Amino acid sequence: MLLTGFVRQFMDSNRTKGWNPLFLIIRSNGKIVGAVSLMVKRWLGLRMAEFLHEDWLAPDFVFSTHYREVCIDLLCKYLLETLRCHLVRFYLPAESPNLTALENRLRSYGADFSIREQSRHSVIPVDCSWDEFQSRKGRRRKIRQIERKLNKSWPWEIECIRNFDGGPSLPERILGIEARSWKQSPQNSLRDVSIEQILMIIEGASAVRHETEEFDSDVWFLNVNHVPVAYTLTVKYKGTGYIVKTSYDQKYAKTYVGKYLNNLAIQDMFSDGETKNIDFMASYPFMDFWTKSSVGHVGFSILRGKGATALELLQQRTSIPKLWRTTVNSWKRFRLRQ
C-alpha cells in the first residue's frame, strides 16, 4: 500500500545514502501470491537489506495465507543464497502470522536472528456505540470545554477533505501547520517533517483508492479565522482506521485543538459502521485520553556469514545508522542468553 509515494520518497532521499530499491513478486500459476518491498545496500563489504517502508508505517510481508510457507522459503533463499546478505532487518507487528514461519525457516539455514520489541501502537477496539465510548472517563465533558474555549476566543470551523481531494494546495496547508508546530522545537527529535513524507501518503493513498473500494483516506482541518491551525490525516482499510499523522500550531496548544480534531476523526470512524479497530500508529501519553490498549511491534534482525566479523566492525563504527546499532545490540543480548 502507498507504493507510489514510497518510490518518490526513496528516489528523493534513500538513493543518496547508497540504498537501492528491490521489489520481490512471487507468483504461482501466473497469479501473484506474495510481494515484498525492500531496499538493499553494500557497505564495507557487507550486504544489508531491510524494508523499503519506514518503521512508523508498521510494514509486513504481503503473502497469500495459503502460500505463506512457500513465500517465506523463497524470500529467505533469495536474501541468504542469491543476494548473500550478511545483515537483514525487518520491522513487524508482534502478532504477525509471518513471524513463526520466518523463525522456522531461518533455523534451517543456520542463521543467527533475534526478535526484540521496538515500539507499541495505541489502539481503540470499536466495540460499543460512540455515545457509550464518549461518556467514559469524562471525555464528553472535556470536549465541550474545548468547544467553549474556542467559541470565546476566535471564529473557527471544521473542514474534512474526503479522499484527499484538496488539490495541489493540500500538502502546503499541512506543512504550514507542521512549520508552526511543537515538533519544530530545536530540542525535539521529531523535527523537519518533510514534503516527501506528506506526498508519500497523499499520492500513495490516491493510487490505492483507484484500485479498491475498501480504502478511504481523509484529512481533517481545524481553521481559525479561515487559517488551518491543526490537522489530522486518517486512512481506513479493511475494518481498521489509522490515525496516520496529526499536528497543530503551537500557538493554540493550550486550547487543545489537536485533541479536539482527533476526537472528531475517531467519532467518524465509530459512526461509519465498518471500522472495527483504530490504530494510532504510535504510542504517546496524550493517547491515554482515548485508550490504554496497545499492540507491540518487533525488530527482527538476521546476521549471517560474516556475522561475527560484521558485529565487531559495527561496534567500532559510530557513523552507522542508529537502526543498525540497535540491531547489533539486540543481537549481542540474544547471543548472551543462549
Q: What is the pLDDT of residue 151?
A: 94
Residues found in the chain:
338
Q: What is the pLDDT of residue 186?
A: 54
Q: What is the pLDDT of residue 137?
A: 79
Q: What is the pLDDT of residue 223?
A: 96
Three state DSSP letters for 108-124: HHCCEEEEEEEEEEEEE
Could you tell me the residue ranges of all domains in the chain?
A: 3-119+297-337, 127-275
Q: What is the pLDDT of residue 113?
A: 85
Regarding beta strands 87-93 and 46-51, do their DSSP bridges make them parallel or antiparallel, or are they unpaired?
parallel
Site of grid cell 550486504 = 47
Instruction: Give the C-alpha separation, 131 to 110, whole Å.
Output: 54
Long-range Cβ contacts of 80-86 (<8 Å, 24+ apart): 80/109, 80/111, 80/304, 83/40, 83/47, 83/49, 84/47, 84/305, 85/40, 85/47, 85/48, 85/49, 85/302, 85/304, 86/46, 86/47, 86/48, 86/303, 86/304, 86/305, 86/306, 86/307, 86/310
Same fold, 3-119+297-337 and 127-275: yes
71's grid cell: 513465500
Pick the CATH number of 3-119+297-337 from 3.30.2300, 3.30.530, 3.40.630, 3.30.70: 3.40.630
Q: What is the pLDDT of residue 183?
A: 67
Q: What is the pLDDT of residue 189?
A: 46
Q: What is the pLDDT of residue 192?
A: 47
Domain 127-275, CATH 2.60.40 — does that match? no
Mean pLDDT, contiguous 10-residue spans, the chain (338 residues): 51 63 90 90 85 73 90 93 90 88 86 84 94 88 94 94 79 88 59 58 67 80 94 90 91 94 96 94 91 90 66 51 50 40
